[in-house]
Structure 1
Amino acid sequence: MMNQADFRFYAELNDFLPPWQRMREFTHTFANNPAIKEVIEALGIPHTEIDLILVNGQSVNFSYLLQNRDRISVYPVFEAFDITPLLRVRPQPLRETRFILDVHLGKLAAYLRLFGFDTEYHNDYEDAQLAQIARQEKRILLTRDIGLLKRNQVTHGYFLRETYPKQQLREIFRRFDLFRAAKPFQRCMICNGLIYPIDKNEINHQVPAATLSYYHSFYRCQSCHQIYWPGSHYQQMQTFINTILPQQDQP
């Protein structure tokens, strides 16, 4: 005999459900007594998006075994109020906001580096590598691949709703409240290394003479040795930064 349970998903978790299951309670049929994590992910919701599960009014973790006639309420990561007395199903937030991005998010990776966030990205990473690095280096995995977020190794991850890089950047700033943590022009947009000031006499053989005579401030990446200076491209980036960050929040 098959068992049945009633599910209700709240807020943005409905983004992962088909239209006929969104914003309403629905009945799900299942065999035996599977772990609730298995059932929720089968319905399409990655575990990294979930903060609280209530079964018959009581908070449970992902290992709870689903029973016939259970009533389940599933909530996303809470931002507005404290649920400390209840049982959170996801690990506590990471002490440092560090990211790893899947292979389709190269432009977003460059933007996050522009704003000073430690962002790991290579366009040839396999899914297994992404999950492993995210766990080992305590990074938040950003992706538009739901299946990647369902991997057990991934403890902190986020599914991007937006499809265009600039909108994705704004989405990430809102979702992780990054506005005051941003430190523009601290990281290399190419390799993620930290950049530091350098005397132009040390790079006079690497930069055109006209550039050396016109500009006085130069910077170099400590990892890939890319050289930067505040040229016209810098002004364009500053204008872009000003569209994301309130002026008073910039360092």
Structure 2
Amino acid sequence: MVTASFRFYEQLNDFLPRARRGREFAPPCARAATVKHMIEALGVPHTEVELVLVNGESSGFDRLLAEGDRVAVYPKCETADIAPPLRVRARPLVASPARPRFVADAHLGGLARLLRMAGFDTLYDNRYHDDEIVAIALDEDRVVLTRDRELLKRRTLTHGCYLHALKPAQQFQELFDRLDLAASARPFTICLHCNLPLRSVAKADVLDRLPPSVRELHDEFNTCDCCGRVFWRGSHHKRMTELLAGVTDAARRLPAAVESAANPAPGP
């Protein structure tokens, strides 16, 4: 056994017992323990970590711990300017100018819907098993969203986010803040049901699928080619726009050509 001291910073403390939060502590470590092994043994998923310093020097996850090592562990922060050689993963979660794509676990249906509303490609199916989520994330280069820390400890998983908040709107705000998503948002451009792009459509082409009141009041529409639903700026649009306004001004800058709303008419 060797003894190394650890200090976790910012939201990483939420994964620790209260007595270990915001302070240095020295747990016993197996002689062949790596930095990654001990971080996860202490309760913190490796996907939540962006930077590790051992004795003041940048370290990778695979470093073997030695007697007396002092380990400082820092969380992800996509707005922080951390040089690539210092990061513990090859690339950040959000590699500008690329827009991140997500896969949400079975308990985050509300968040998945909000992310689609904001224009982010987000896969969700409450029948997904953990193995499927990991496979999808790796095959399609997606960020896993979950409140299951054990899922994020999967060895092969490199990009994931643990959501600390419990309610969808709060999770939405948390994710926007952590990943600096505001500039990438394209509100009301993805079908909330199919997760596929919407396209603008002439009113005459969907007239027979609109309620009488909608025919009278609205002239701009979008449709999903998969499910056939029609979207317009209906009763839910204001609430959704207000929610988006809290995290980004993209909704206010949205071109009229792509405006739509979560007030769909069912497909044929």
Moved more, 210-219 or 12-21: 210-219
Contact preservation (8 Å) 1:143, 1:159: yes
* Cα distance change on mapping 1:200 and 1:80 into 2, 3 Å: closer
Residues 1-251 of structure 1: matches in 2 within 5 Å? 2-79=1-78, 81-84=80-83, 86-93=85-92, 94=95, 95-246=98-249, 250-251=253-254
Contact preservation (8 Å) 1:132, 1:153: no
SS at match of 2:26: strand
State how far apart, in whole Å, the 2-side matches of 1:81 and 1:240 are: 25
Deviations 1:69-122 (A, max 9, x none): 222111112456433175311231233211111110111111111111111111
Contact preservation (8 Å) 1:100, 1:130: yes
* Cα distance change on mapping 1:151 and 1:45 into 2, 3 Å: same
Q: Which residue identity lines up with residue 87 of structure 2 in the other structure?
A: R
Deviation at 1:43, TM superposition (A): 0.5
* Cα distance change on mapping 1:79 and 1:210 into 2, 3 Å: closer
Contact preservation (8 Å) 2:4, 2:68: yes
List alignment gaps of at least 5 residues for structure 1. Answer: none
Q: Which residue identity lines up with residue 178 of structure 1 in the other structure?
A: L
Deviation at 1:210, TM superposition (A): 4.8
TM-score by length of 1: 0.91
Deviation at 1:242, TM superposition (A): 3.0
State how far apart, in whole Å, the 2-side matches of 1:216 and 1:111 are: 25
Moved more, 34-43 or 78-87: 78-87
Moved over 6 A (4+): none
* Cα distance change on mapping 1:175 and 1:188 into 2, 3 Å: same
SS at match of 2:236: helix
State how far apart, in whole Å, the 2-side matches of 1:116 and 1:63 are: 37
State how far apart, in whole Å, the 2-side matches of 1:226 and 1:64 are: 53
Moved more, 238-247 or 158-167: 238-247
List alignment gaps of at least 5 residues for structure 2. Answer: 255-268
Q: Which residue identity lines up with residue 75 of structure 1 in the other structure?
A: Y
Deviation at 1:184, TM superposition (A): 1.0
Moved more, 144-153 or 204-213: 204-213
TM-score by length of 2: 0.86
Deviation at 1:204, TM superposition (A): 3.4
* Cα distance change on mapping 1:44 and 1:231 into 2, 3 Å: same
Aligned residues: percent identity? 43
State how far apart, in whole Å, the 2-side matches of 1:37 and 1:160 are: 21
Moved more, 48-57 or 101-110: 48-57
SS at match of 1:120: strand
State how far apart, in whole Å, the 2-side matches of 1:119 and 1:70 are: 41
Matched positions, count? 250
State how far apart, in whole Å, the 2-side matches of 1:25 and 1:161 are: 23
* Cα distance change on mapping 1:193 and 1:79 into 2, 3 Å: closer
